[in-house]
A = this chain, B = another copy of it.
Amino acid sequence: MLIRNPANPIITPQMVKPSAEGLKVVGTFNPAATVYNNEVILIMRVAETCIKKPGFISIPYFDFSTDKSFLSVLDVPEKDPDVKLKDTRGILYKGREYLSSVSHLRLARSKDGVNFIINEKPFILPYDETESFGVEDARISHIGDDYFINYTVVSSDGYATFLSKTKDFKHIERLGIIFPPLNKDVVIFEEKVNGKYIALHRPDNHGFGLPSIWYADSPDLTHWGNHKCLLRPRANQWEMKKIGGGAPPIKTKQGWLEIFHGKGENNMYSLNLLLLDLEDPSKILAVGEKPFMFPETKYEKEGFFGNVIFTNGHIVMPDGSIKIYYGSSDEHICMAETSIEKLLQLL
């Protein structure tokens, strides 16, 4: 049903140049995908940490003091009384919070969808202090002449979803936060339905239910409303902890086909299918009974954070075949192929 590419993982941290000296890439994962100029374009999440220097705690941070932000390294003597380790991921230095690893978005392109040329420099970096903990997990929606890129911006205010657009994957126009904290896993449909743009999103509802997939619509892609909860995780199932959208849904004769992820027992992330009504995507037509894809191979079970398959990008070919790009174990990028027809048969 599903064929994992024999070259998997097709992109590894070793293949990605760090943003600056003193840094090392620890993860390149969760890529958005589209086709542009006859090439497959990936916008990958690249996570970097500092190379350990004896006697120092080295902290990666985005420097916003000049016109253009950049990733830099702050070296603090280990014995400095102003430095405190908060937990495994957080560092407190002189009252300011830092993360031990931070992410930006990087571009890669390929003629065959398997062998990628990876840009040496970041494509999207945090813009200012409101994105100081990094930018993560992009999705690309190709609408008209524009490629709309949404991604998670993280700071001490929380995580939110930001929208930018490009026509050429060189110049980027920033359009603002479209879903305020705490909200991620946003997928924007690639065409209007009944005159409105449609998105799925995933607000956090800490203290109430479990993080669920919500519906919203928009007149202009930047202002969203008419929010409705579409699908909730079920107890004692593969997705019992949370669910969230993947890439923009695929339009089929049967309905909008969405590949989504769920987090279950032992923090395992798997992929399942959701079919939404063509005319009214706030109506669910079908949900897969169980995941069609879950961690099975070594590169999906082991890594920076093992047992994770997460997708936010795929390419549908004219013959109905589909290349699903996915992050494995929060460390690598992989690809698996199947067809729309085979996916629909699972529903």
Contacts and interface: CB of A to CB of B under 8 A. Distances in A.
Contacts of A226: 176-177, 222-223
A133 to B, nearest CB: 9
A180 B227 contact: yes
A220 B219 contact: yes
Interface in A28-45: none
Contacts of A204: 181-182, 204, 206
B157 A212 contact: yes
A225 B180 CA distance: 8
A156 interface: yes
A155 B177 CA distance: 26
A114 interface: no
A318 interface: no
A62 interface: no
Interface string A277-295: 0000000000000000000
Contacts of A225: 176-178, 218, 222-224
A208 B181 contact: yes
Interface residues of A, number: 39
A130 interface: yes
Contacts of A229: 130, 157
A201 interface: yes
B158 A182 contact: no
A209 B158 contact: yes
Given A180-B183, A180-B214, A159 B208 contact: yes
A217 B214 CA distance: 21
10 contacts: A155-B208, A156-B209, A158-B205, A158-B206, A160-B227, A176-B225, A177-B227, A217-B223, A218-B225, A222-B225
